[in-house]
Amino acid sequence: MEENHSYSVGQVAALSGVTVRTLHHYDQIGILSPGRQPPNGYRRYEDCDLDKLRQILFYRELGFPLEEVATILEDAPANQSVHLRRQHRLLRDRIARLERIVAVVEKEMEASQMNISLTPEERFEVFGDFKPEDYAEEAEQRWGDTDAYRESHRRVTTYTNDDWQELKSQSTDIDRRLAAALGAGAAADGEEAMDLAEEHRMHITRWFYDCGYDIHVGLGDMYVGDPRFTARYEEIAPALAQFLRDAIRANARRAEAS
């Protein structure tokens, strides 16, 4: 394998399974630009180009926009083990997500066989008990750092049943008080709501991971934007998810101002 070998665009397309058009496109946007063969300007791809294409295709497979793939590859252009670790984690995350959905579908299959007719709200309940760490992963993918996820995972695995009881009790209490504040007409950016949002944030920090204000805001957006959370909070009180989201935002602004 000492041979100095280069490939035409057609050969690379055949090897990799992407089209010539795709390779042109990647060249045009600058994510994979091969050398050019004088005097006709034909593209020639080297082995390192193939390596790079392989990484591109992997991240594309997992749904990353090309612009983001470009950023990833710039950050760690040559360090193969960095990519491998990242890819491994991403794959594991994706599988875990799909496994959760499978569990939901299986539960519904059971319910369906028992001829239980669930309402739309009840259907969301099948997602199981609400645990922030189930969803913080998504917040991280959107806004945060993977250290928080690992930290959360590390802590959670050490908890006893008593720990879970206490955690749940505190979580329920915060929810209840949020609903009460909403019911009493408290402003989402008032002191009371902000203090509750702060308690909410510290609860996560206490039990799961260090939840900075950025992450917290991301979580708040997710409570409103994701039907699982929204329904969860709607069950407690109508419009609670939005109230909490707004309180979280106000709380973050308060913290930023001080």
Partner DNA sequence: GCTTGACCCTGACGTAGCGTGAGGGTCTAA
Partner DNA sequence: TTAGACCCTCACGCTACGTCAGGGTCAAGC
Residues that bind a second copy (CB under 8 A): 1, 14-17, 47, 50-51, 54, 58, 61, 80-81, 84-85, 87-88, 91-92, 94-95, 98-99, 101-102, 105-106, 108-109, 112-113, 119-123, 224-227, 230-231, 234, 241-242
Identified binder of DNA from the candidate list 65, 128, 225, 238, rule CB under 7 A = 65
CA distance 217 to 249: 6
Q: For residue 174, with 0-12 CB atoms within 10 Å meaning exposed, 13-18 middle and 19 or more buried, which class applies? A: middle
Q: Are the C-beta atoms of residues 248 and 192 closer than 8 Å to each other?
A: no
Identified binder of DNA from the candidate list 6, 16, 58, 60, rule CB under 7 A = 60
Asked if residue 169 binds DNA (CB under 7 A), the reply is: no
Identified binder of DNA from the candidate list 5, 11, 116, 238, rule CB under 7 A = 11
CA distance 39 to 22: 24
Q: Are the C-beta atoms of residues 5 and 50 closer than 8 Å to each other?
A: no
CB nearer to DNA: pick between 65 and 183? 65
Of 12-20, 46-54, 89-97, 229-237: span binding DNA (CB under 7 A): 12-20
Of 18-26, 47-55, 89-97, 207-215: span binding DNA (CB under 7 A): 18-26
Which residue do the tokens 């390192």 mark? 48
Identified binder of DNA from the candidate list 5, 15, 21, 97, rule CB under 7 A = 21
CA atoms within 13 A on the CB side of 204: 27
Asked if residue 61 binds DNA (CB under 7 A), the reply is: no
Asked if residue 29 binds DNA (CB under 7 A), the reply is: yes
CA atoms within 13 A on the CB side of 221: 12
At closest approach, how far in Å is the CB of 158 from DNA?
Answer: 39
At closest approach, how far in Å is the CB of 224 from DNA?
Answer: 10
Asked if residue 249 binds DNA (CB under 7 A), the reply is: no
Least Cα distance to 57 among 7, 4, 12 occurs for 12
At closest approach, how far in Å is the CB of 93 from a second copy?
Answer: 10
CB nearer to DNA: pick between 59 and 229? 59
At closest approach, how far in Å is the CB of 98 from DNA?
Answer: 19
Identified binder of DNA from the candidate list 1, 4, 5, 19, rule CB under 7 A = 19
Radius of gyration of the chain from its Cα atoms, rounded to whole angstroms: 24
Give residue 56's Cα distance to chain centre. Answer: 20
Given CA atoms 64, 65, 66, 68 in this order, what sign does their dihedral have? negative
Q: Give the tokens for residue 182.
A: 């909403």
CA atoms within 13 A on the CB side of 119: 4
Identified binder of DNA from the candidate list 47, 51, 61, 67, rule CB under 7 A = 67
What are the residues whose beta carbons fall under 8 Å from the beta carbon of 36, sequence distance 6 or more?
42, 43, 44
Which residues sit at the interface with DNA, rule CB under 7 A?
A: 8-11, 18-22, 24-26, 29, 39-43, 60, 65-67
